[in-house]
Amino acid sequence: MGKSSDERQPFESALAPLLRPAYQLAFGMLQSREEAEDAVQEAAMRAWMKRANLREGSELRPWFLAIVANQCRTVVRGRWWTVLKRPELPSPAAGTEPALDEVVQGIVLRNAIRRLPHRQRLVIVLHFYLDLTFDEVAAVTRESTAAVKSRIYRAARELAPLVSAREGFGLDGRASLSNS
């Protein structure tokens, strides 16, 4: 066995716990299971090829999630079609009106997030869906923490009418920015 295969096992072991958050990020940005899976796979291959670029002492998570985000940007830029995929609604059963309302609200929110500018959508997915802190989002996006907070605030103002206060937004439409 060569040096490359000796390096592969520790790299794969370190990357394994990041695959789920990477998929969640890709799905949040691409809204397609197949494209998200492909993007994560491509990002993992790129990370392997560029592993020498990871500075000693740097965290793997923000570095890898940045590669995933960049791969998603590439996928979005390369699309030639504009068909929106809609999630399937569950078949209604007796007494499931509240559940159906929640599904519809989720679809409306996903569509609203999908219409956000790419950079706002990215920080929303990283912070609210992947529960990254503002500093971690800043590391992934290579922006200042203040810029990340500002972008999240602007996106949250656009989304606030669709989200209730108990889902992380204040009653006045402001995102809760105290979580760092």
- Examine residue 86 and state whether it is found in any structural domain, yes or no: no
Q: What CATH number does residue 104 fall under?
A: 1.10.10.10
Q: What CATH number does residue 50 fall under?
A: 1.10.1740.10
Please check whether residues 102 and 176 belong to one and the same domain: yes
In this prediction, what percent of the chain has a pLDDT beyond 90?
A: 26
Structural tokens at position 169: 């937004």
Please check whether residues 20 and 71 belong to one and the same domain: yes
pLDDT the model gives residue 38: 94
Strand partners, 169: 175
pTM (predicted TM-score): 0.56
- Examine residue 88 and state whether it is found in any structural domain, yes or no: no
- Examine residue 90 and state whether it is found in any structural domain, yes or no: no
Please check whether residues 66 and 101 belong to one and the same domain: no
Total domains in the chain come to 2
Nearest-angstrom CA–CA distance, 50 and 139: 18
**C-alpha torsion sign, points 85, 104, 72, 5:** negative
- Are 130 and 24 within 8 A, CB to CB? yes
| Beta-carbon contacts of residue 117 (< 8 Å; ≥ 6 apart) | none
Query: Residue 103: which domain range?
Result: 95-180
pLDDT band at 82 (very low <50, low <70, confident <90, very high): very low
- Is the pLDDT reported for residue 77 higher than 60? yes
- Examine residue 161 and state whether it is found in any structural domain, yes or no: yes
- Are 109 and 159 within 8 A, CB to CB? yes
Please check whether residues 162 and 139 belong to one and the same domain: yes
